[in-house]
Chain A
Amino acid sequence: MTEALTEPQTGPQAEPLLRVENLRKYYPFTRGIVFVTKVGDVKAVDDVSFTIAAGETLGLVGESGCGKTTTSKLVLNLEQPTGGRVLLQGKPIHGLKGEARREYRALVQAVFQDPWASLNPRMRVGKIIAEALVVTKWGSRSEIDHRVVELLVQVGLRPEHALQYPHEFSGGQRQRIALASALASKPKLIVLDEPVSALDVSIRAQMMNLLKDIQESENVAYLLVAHDLATVRHMTHQVAVMYMGQIVETAPTEKLFEEVRHPYTKALLSAVLPDHPDHRGEEIVLSGEVPSPMDMPPGCRFHTRCPFALPECVTHEPALREITPSHQVACHLYSDP
């Protein structure tokens, strides 16, 4: 199975499971109370493109406000894009109606960060898991009940848990319930928005192992939104690092961590806390904070914090370009091949 993941079964020309093309999401911001005028746009997601192959995991990494969660909401069709397209199996997902929309909903599911907010406290666990099946009229009642039991067992819970309410479970168990409900309709893609960061350390490992096992058995692709590089390294096949609405570096996971190029990725990497007191790598401490998205710096958006900024970084925005095969970086430091 692992070989199958590194070597796509279909040819390189084949359409990937998910293709995101030049995706943009701008939120207008206004001034005034009586006379409201639009002052500009907050570019939450600004020209983002990536693909996810079937059965693979893409990690979307960045700090809060970098646009990774907005991107995931666009992929989930919970937000309408300002520009660009999201294609699932070659078909655009926004503006779908009727049967096509139902089909898309069955194929793309999600697990969110906070297991205390993502389960309806007034619904029994069985009903929560069955919801996607009930609304898509997946089968008869007994077939659905059967599937719920199957899912509970698959995520490591017991069939009788179906009759209980969410408050009777711990955080880790709730996240398993959330995963079971995401798996119900046999999706091809699950958006995982910080799926383990709200869990206790000893529970995180269980959840990560479970996610990997399920990927192997169901051949489901993940879009993993995360801020912790160690988790990302452990979980993903491909990584895209985002800063202020844009992808600044993307590469296959092993490749990226072998030779990190973009100064921001380097800073993120050195901010990962050591797993032993003697492990201290190169330390890049960024000065200052992420600028306000209402006041986007000109040129490279990272130049205000970058320790290696060049004169052209202030004036010209670097494009995302391939510097070695399949490794793309948006940085002037690598503009000369």
Chain B
Amino acid sequence: MRKLPWVSILIIGGMVFAAIFAPYLTPHSPIEQTLPDKLLPPFWEATGSTKYILGTDIFGRDVLTRLLYGARVSLIVTALSLLVGGGVGLTIGIASGYIGGRLDSLLMRLVDAAFTFPAILFALLLAVTMGQGLDTLVVAIGLLLWAGFARIIRGEVLALKQRDFVALAKVHGCSELRIMVTHILPNVMNTFMVLVTLNVGAVIVAEASLSFLGAGIPPPTPSWGLMVAEGRGKISSAWWLSLLPGIAITMVVLTFNLFGDWLRDRLDPKLRQL
């Protein structure tokens, strides 16, 4: 058994802490502009100042402050879209696998269709029609996620429903709905939790990509993807604007994936091929 991934746990803990206590961790505002202090580099550079540890952007906003508040946006979006997308996938996976027959064929064709869909394009379309905002972002990312969840959960359910305890539940007189809720659902929760952690990274990247493309959280609310996008034009003169949020994204995604790997090995060795 692998040891607890302490580094991952510390980084994730740090991120959650930053997201919750962002207002108390920094004296600056993430939105208010201080134009005289614009484009200051991080403090270790010659022209940098310890007032803005990681420098400022083109509007003179503190980059560190925006990163901390950005963590908040990332976490909220991640949690909500995993809840929506994962929840839909879980429900469809259980229904499809357990009930089977025509419903299964129909739902699985839907899943196939979802996989062929250019998700980013669809999200852009959604942003145009529904308008930018948290709800659009959550729906868009949820649409990207559900099919993967549904397919894997369904596979799990197909194996589970052959188990004797399901047959015995029928003998005991349980209704189909009751079997799905009390016998199938608790037995796929391990797999579900593993899928959730393994997808956190993908969701953070998706959120950043959509924000980068302008289909995410509207400015001036800080989001890591948006920060990368805003700094893109000044990458030669002010490298810190894009690079620092980029590093933050990489680190968090890597961390969650490591944690997910550990959780998978721990809870559900069957899924090792994922």
Contact = CB atoms under 8 A, between A and B. Distances in A.
Given A121-B187, A123-B182, A131 B172 contact: yes
A78 B167 CA distance: 7
Contact of A106 (B163, B167, B169, B173): B173
Interface in A100-146: 101-102, 105-106, 108-110, 112-114, 117-123, 131-132, 135-136
Contacts of B170: 78
Interface in B165-179: 165, 167-175, 178
Nearest to B162: A117
A105 to B, nearest CB: 4
B179 to A, nearest CB: 10
Give the size category of B's interface with A: 10 to 19
Given A114-B164, A119-B165, A105 B173 contact: yes
Interface in A261-320: none
Contact of B171 (A76, A119, A123): A76
Contact of A78 (B171, B187, B189): B171
A122 B172 CA distance: 17
Contacts of A120: 165, 169, 182-183, 186-187
Interface residues of A, number: 27
A181 interface: yes
A112 B182 contact: no
Given A132-B173, A135-B173, A136-B173, A123 B186 contact: yes
A224 B202 CA distance: 53
Nearest to B174: A135
A144 to B, nearest CB: 13
A135 B178 contact: yes
Contact of B175 (A132, A135, A178): A135
A108 B171 contact: yes
B164 A112 contact: yes
Nearest to A184: B172
Nearest to A76: B171
B124 to A, nearest CB: 39
A105 B171 contact: yes
Nearest to A105: B173
Contacts of A136: 173
Nearest to B175: A135
B146 to A, nearest CB: 24
Contacts of A101: 173
A101 B171 CA distance: 11
Q: Which 10 pairs of residues, A with B, have the shortest CB-CB distance?
A: A105-B173, A122-B186, A132-B172, A118-B164, A117-B164, A112-B164, A120-B165, A135-B173, A131-B172, A110-B171
Interface of B: 163-165, 167-175, 178, 182-183, 186-187, 189
27 contacts: A76-B171, A78-B171, A105-B173, A109-B172, A112-B164, A112-B167, A113-B164, A117-B163, A117-B165, A118-B164, A118-B168, A119-B165, A120-B182, A120-B186, A120-B187, A121-B187, A122-B189, A123-B182, A131-B169, A132-B172, A132-B173, A135-B172, A135-B173, A135-B178, A178-B168, A181-B172, A185-B172
Interface of A: 73, 76, 78, 101-102, 105-106, 108-110, 112-114, 117-123, 131-132, 135-136, 178, 181, 185
